Structure formats: C-alpha cells, structure tokens
Amino acid sequence: MDHIRRSLLGQLARLSAGAALVPLSSVASAGINDQPARREGDPSKRYGMLIDLRQCIGCQACTVSCHIENDVPMGNFRTVVSQFEVQQQDTDNMATFMLPRLCNHCENPPCVPVCPVQATFQRQDGIVVVDSDRCVGCAYCVNACPYDARFINEKTQTADKCTFCAHRLEAGLLPACVESCVGGARVIGDMRDPDSEISRLIDKHRDELMVLQPEMNTLPQVFYLGMDERFTTKPEAEPGIWDILGTNDKELGYEFDH
C-alpha cells in the first residue's frame, strides 16, 4: 500500500471513529470562556465595515435611521456618532472630530462565550446576533462588551445590539445606517470577496486603518479610515451636554455639571 493511500485510510478511520466522539470532544476542547463554534449564516462570507471618518459630518442620520429601522428604545443606541470638539491650546484653533460607533462584530467577541444560554452567538458570516427568544436578560454580555455596543432593550427585556441589519443584508439591501449616510462614509461588504468595495478599500488603505481598543485583543471588524489614534481608546475629554426628550417631553438624558 503506498503512502498516500495509507494516510488517506488513516484519515478516514480517524474521521469515522472520531465522529462518535465529536460532541464530547467539542465540549472538552471548549475551555471556559473560549469562543464556541459559529452557527447559521453564510460560511462563504465575512461581513465587515469600513468607516471613512473624513466623510462623516456627524449628522446622526445613521443614528436616527437605525432607531427607526430596528425600533430601538429612546436613550439606547445600536449606533451613535460621538462628536468631539478639539481645541488646540497654543493656537486656540478649533476642530471637530466625528466617530460613529456600532458593534464591531469582532473576530474574537468577548460577549459571545459569556452568554450562559447561547442566546448570543456569532454567525459563520461573522455577524454577532442575539436570539431574543432565548435570551434570559442576565446582561452578562452587556458588561462583557468593551465598546458599550450592547444594552438591555426595555421593550423586550433582552440584550440588544447592532446586527449589521442582517435582515436587510439577506434581502439584498444595505444596512439602514449605510443607506442613510449622507457622506457615504460607511462601507459594508463581504471581506472574503476580493472584488467587493470593502476588500478593495482595505487593500488600498491597509496601513492607515485603525480599530477601536486594539489592546483588548477582540479583533474588531469595523475599520476606521482617517482615525486619530487618541480616539481609539476612551478619549481624555470633558463631557458636554446630552438632553433628548421622550414622547412625553420628559428628559431622557442628563446634564453634566462641570
């Protein structure tokens, strides 16, 4: 028997004998807080987003359209644009900096392994979703996410987050935030397809792209172009004002006194 055939048979034997042990070994090999296997979604795709901050004017159209599309309760955000005023102290020059935030659909999402009932999981196309019928609302994932991308939805009393508008992607539509972006700053696409716009942009700007909190080792898949490194972690900033009114004209936010 030649070498190739022998090794092939060996492989087959391992496969057949091992098949019975697969469920057991998957439990044994999943160490505590390790990433579980991905499920659902198209395994041939890997969705990601590139945000060209040079195009963002901070109009919050994405924030509003996301709220409408996904019925997000007032005061919570699946996406929001952080708006900064930067004053150069020696010259007194003012500049603004806009930073859209959303779920980073990390390659190593810290929110997934903590879920005690596997309600939150990563699809094979990389999108991190929550099964709101299974979620017990323990909020463990809300605390696990370093990006504040998750919240407990007061209407459903379960964990809620950005899904890259998976329901729209499946219907061949763009996510609400991408669709409504007036500057065309947000680009979403399949990063496994070398001809997709996002793949071409990533190739072109590979050295300039930044992600949020890279030191967390979560491997975010939302990439920022035109980013200032000071803003990749919590910026050393003074808080401004936040007040939005609910339907009953009650203030949902609060004002910092400083």
Partner 1 sequence: MSLITEVVVPRYGIAWYPWAVQYFFLIALSYCSLWLAAPGLIFGKKTWMPTARVALLACVTTTLVAPVALLADLHQPLRFWHFYGYPTPWSWMSIGSFLLPMYLGAVVLLAWLTWRPALKARSYEADGWFSRIAGWLAWGNWQAPRALIVLIGLAALVASLGIMIYTGFEVAVLKGRPLWHTNWLPPMFVTTGLIGACGMALVLNRVTGLRHPETNRQLMAIMAIACVVTGFIALTWFLDGVNSVSGSVAAALASIDESPAWRSTAIEGSLAGVLLAVLAFVMRRSAARRKAMGWVIGLLALHVAWMFRWVVLMNVQTIARNTAGFNDYYIDFGSYGLLGIIGIFGLWLTAILLIDLFVPWREATENPRSNSVITPEMRTRSLSTSASSPVSTPASHEGATSHG
Q: Which residues bind partner 1 (CB under 8 A)?
A: 27, 30-34, 36, 75, 77, 80-90, 101, 110-111, 113-119, 134-140, 142-148, 151-152, 157-158, 212, 215-216, 230, 234-242, 253-254, 256, 258
Q: Are 55 and 186 in contact (CB under 8 A)?
A: no
Nearest distance in Å: CB 172, partner 1: 31
User: Which tokens go with 112?
Assistant: 């997934």
Nearest distance in Å: CB 121, partner 1: 10
Q: For partner 1, which is the closer residue by CB, 88 or 247?
A: 88
Instruction: Measure the CA–CA gap between 11 and 21, rounded to whole angstroms.
Output: 15
Instruction: Measure the CA–CA gap between 101 and 153, rounded to whole angstroms.
Output: 18
Amino acid symbol at 156: T
Nearest distance in Å: CB 233, partner 1: 8
Nearest distance in Å: CB 161, partner 1: 13
Nearest distance in Å: CB 8, partner 1: 34
Q: For partner 1, which is the closer residue by CB, 114 or 209?
A: 114
Q: For partner 1, which is the closer residue by CB, 98 or 169?
A: 98
User: Of 211, 203, 218, whose CA–CA distance to 189 is shortest?
Assistant: 203
Amino acid symbol at 201: L
Rounded to the nearest 5°, which phi and psi values hold at 195?
-95, -5
Q: For partner 1, which is the closer residue by CB, 86 or 201?
A: 86
Nearest distance in Å: CB 168, partner 1: 24
Q: For partner 1, which is the closer residue by CB, 3 or 234?
A: 234
Instruction: Measure the CA–CA gap between 174 and 168, rounded to whole angstroms.
Output: 6
SS3 31: coil
Nearest distance in Å: CB 84, partner 1: 6
Q: For partner 1, which is the closer residue by CB, 6 or 155?
A: 155
Do strands 222-225 and 47-52 pair parallel, antiparallel, or not at all (unpaired)?
parallel
Rounded to the nearest 5°, which phi and psi values hold at 53?
-65, -20
Q: For partner 1, which is the closer residue by CB, 77 or 164?
A: 77
Q: CA separation (Å) from 113 to 32, 33, 128, 131, 213?
A: 8, 5, 12, 14, 19
Rounded to the nearest 5°, which phi and psi values hold at 187?
-120, 125
Rounded to the nearest 5°, which phi and psi values hold at 12?
-65, -45
